[in-house]
Each structure stands twice: as C-alpha cells, then as structure tokens.
Amino acid sequence: MSHVAACLVCLSVVLTGGTGLLTPRFPRPKGPVLRSEYSYDTKYFTQPVDHFSFATSDTFDQRYLINRKYFEGDGGPIFFYTGNEGDITWFGDNTGFMWDIAPKFKAMVVFAEHRYYGDSMPYGKDSYKDPRHLGYLTAEQALADFARLITHLKSSIPGAADSPVVAFGGSYGGMLAAWFRMKYPSSVIGSLAASAPVWQFEGLTPCGSQYSIITQDFQKGSPGCDTRIRKSWDLLNQIGQTAAGREKLSSMFSLCSPLNTTKDVTVTMTQWLLNTWFNLAMVDYPYPASFLEPLPAWPIKEVCSLITKSLDVLEGIAAGATLYYNYTGQATCLNIQESAVSSLGDLGWSFQFCSEMTMPSCSDGVHDMFFPEPWNLTAYMAQCKSAWKVTPRPYWILQQFGGKNITAASNIIFSNGLLDPWSAGGVTESLSDSLVAITIADGAHHLDLRSSNPADPQSVIEAREQEVEIIREWLQQYYSGL
C-alpha cells in the first residue's frame, strides 16, 4: 500500500489536493452544540494576538463560558477548563465531571476556548489564510491566553481575587492543562490532565504503541475480531484492482460515491476504515454515548460481534463499519471522504500537527492488525511544508515542556484509560509525590472527565474519587498557606 506518511488517525489534507499528509486526530466536534445540558454565560475577553513580541498590536476576542451559580465568593475555587482544538461548547458539554463536582467545592466553572477554534478567531475569516495570520496558533500562545484570562477573572469578579484555580483538560486539552501548571504555577494550584499524550513526541514513545492498543481492544471485543480486520486489508487491495470489484465494494458498504480508482480503495477507503477502528477505540464507553457518533454501550463488542458473525470477511467489515456510522438508522450511505479535513477544527489541528505537534505514529501489521505504515520524519516535514508553507519543529515541544524530564513540576494528575490508544503516549506511572498517574483499566478516552453514569465501571469510579481527593488536598494546602 502506498501511504506517504504515517498517522495516528489519519486525515488527508485537502489543501494538497486530496492525498499526502496524514494527521493524527483527537476526537472533536462535528459542529457546534446547539443545546447544552449545562447552564453558563458566554463571554469574551480581548487578547493580544501575539503575547511574545511587540511586532504586532492586533487583538482578538477569546470566548469563554462561565458559571458562577455554586461560587460563593470569599476566595472559593475556580475550575478552569483549558480548551482544546474545537468549539468550546462541545467540551463544556462533554466534561460532566467538572459540573458534577463543582457544587461540592462551591467552585466557579470556566471553559476557555482555544484561539483559532470555535468563535475565537484572531483574524476572523482570514485567520486560516496564510502563515502570517495562522502562525499565532500555538500551544504557548493559548496558554498565555489562559493565564491572562485568569488574571482578568480574579481581578474583575467580586470575591475571586484570592481564588485558587484548578485546571482541567482532556486529550490535547489535557496536555495544555499539564503544561499550564508547568509554565504558569502562579496561575493554577494544580491540574487534572486526562488522557493527555504528553509523551507522544519524537523519541519518547515507540511510534506503534497506539495501534497495538487498538488491536488488543478488538481482540477483547470478540475472539477472532482482530484477525478478521487484519485479513481485510489484503482482500480490499485485491478486490480494488478491478472495476467490477470496486463496484461490488461500493454497494457492499453502501458508499455515497462510487470507488472509481484502485487508489480510492487502497488509500482513501483503507484510511477511512483505519480511522473508524481508531475512533471506536477512543470512544469504547460502557454506556450509550454520542461523542463522535451515536453509539451503543461498549461499541467495540457490538461491532466485533458483527464482524465475526459474517461468513464473508469483507461483509463483516462492512456490517461493523455500518454500525459505527448508522447506529441511529439515519445514514442513507457511508461517506469514505468524510474523514478528510472538513471543518476548521480539523484544519486547525492539521496546522498544529505540522508546526509544533510532531506526534509520530506507525503501524507494522505484525504487532498490530493494520498494515505497514512507517513513520518518516523527512516525508512528514516535506508534506507539512507543502500543505501549510511552514517548516515543522519536531523537537520544540520537548525543549519547551521538558519531554520526560518533568519532575521539577508539581501538582499534576495524569489520568489515562487503558483502552484508549492515546494512553500509549501518556504518563501512566507516578513521577513523584505530586505528579500522580491514575490508570483506569476499563476506560477509553478521558472517560473520567465525563459525567458519572450508572454503568460506570468500578475503575473509573475509583479514579474520580482519587482525583477529587487530590484536588481537595491542593485546596487545603493553598488555604492553609494564605
């Protein structure tokens, strides 16, 4: 198979004309959330576009969501979500844990949007125009936005001047929460970094680890499930060689548009399937949820039961993929081009992946059920240059945030669900008394940040109890030092 670059969950960058760069992908919203379960006010705060030089005095309005219902003033805590790559309302809705525990702590709840996402566009419609406009999309600038916003909140809200702030974040937002505590220890007393792959960078984690985890998840899904998926790639390759075969596949998978060329099968369709299995591993939650797609409880088990039940391997694969995309029965066809970059959220992450966030990944078809796709730094650099006209700095994040050498930091909880492919690049063993790792045996991507649910496994119930306990200790330490 002719894959140009390795990827985590792959997206073809449309800017290069369809093929080319493949980008890792965290779960992200498909569109704005229209109706929230939680109540908050939506506000804006004016930020400099560039915190780190005096080359421009441009400003923009950063959106944030705020709820002061439980906050009783008098220096009560502020729970602050460090927004990641997407519309902040989506993170507000999918971080029930903060809402669940805020009343207990009498905490103010704030969700801060990440610049260049949602409604926080530094240059309006021109934000993504070229590197001159887009170059301010970095983690460092986002962290500085958070720090200034906190200063603003504490100075403008009555009773908040001495409030301790606890940062929360999941996925890339978890990376930001951890880095925020490292870089701005005077802004936050501690951080819960959930499913934060802070070590998914050059030289820190073997690039194939994620795909091994996904393979284990499908192995557990039902016996033989991973074997079937492993077999499917060669079968797809063979059948994709002929027009008759492609027609058969198009109809077997009820595809929205027909497979015209061999490459449609061997690149577009296989990447789409790889995406599908990757996504399932991230959202293998113990109850029905609608994080990326509406899905039943333990969706991998359901999908695997379809995959292994069928006599024909590819028909089984089609049935499994259909469950993922058509659980509600609303899908008229399956769109293998859907995983291409389709929204600004996807585009923004693609740019971040091509500038600071060099997060290598690879598969070999031996230690995982996928196909050989090596990580090639040279090819990645070249493709990023051509897609975004920027040269990635693959080692900058290590320099900036310490790589594995972070024991000088304190008060960070690193939580990871072991079903989650992203746990491969996470901190899963405690590094010191106050850099605490919590693993959740039956957890997918930041399950602990979701609201509590009757179907929660014991492992996540215990993880949340431990998290609450540690946050309580941070607060006690803070108040006893005042």
CB 95 within 8 A of CB 81: yes
399 in contact with ligand NAG (CB under 6 A): no
Stretch that binds ligand NAG, among 150-158, 182-190, 240-248, 329-337 (CB under 6 A): 329-337
Stretch that binds ligand NAG, among 160-168, 190-198, 323-331, 469-477 (CB under 6 A): 323-331
Residue among 46, 405, 430, 476 that touches ligand NAG (CB under 6 A): 405
* Contacting ligand NAG within 129-168 (CB under 6 A): none
Q: Is 445 a catalytic residue?
A: yes
Residue among 326, 428, 452, 466 that touches ligand NAG (CB under 6 A): 326
**Per-residue binder mask for ligand NAG (CB under 6 A), 267-306, x = binder:** -x--------------------------------------
Nearer to ligand NAG, 204 or 382 (CB): 382
Least Å distance between CB 354 and ligand NAG?
Answer: 15
Nearer to ligand NAG, 319 or 413 (CB): 319
Least Å distance between CB 412 and ligand NAG?
Answer: 16
322 in contact with ligand NAG (CB under 6 A): yes
- Active-site residue identified among 445, 446, 448, 456: 445
C-alpha span between 190 and 441 (Å, rounded)? 24
**Per-residue binder mask for ligand NAG (CB under 6 A), 358-397, x = binder:** ------------------x-xx--x---------------
Tokens 């005042």 belong to: 482
Q: Is 61 a catalytic residue?
A: no
**Per-residue binder mask for ligand NAG (CB under 6 A), 1-40, x = binder:** ----------------------------------------
* Contacting ligand NAG within 234-263 (CB under 6 A): 254, 257-260
- Active-site residue identified among 12, 127, 163, 171: 171
Q: Is 3 a catalytic residue?
A: no
Q: Which residues bind ligand NAG (CB under 6 A)?
A: 254, 257-260, 264, 268, 322, 326, 329, 331, 333-334, 376, 378-379, 382, 405
Catalytic site positions? 171, 420, 445
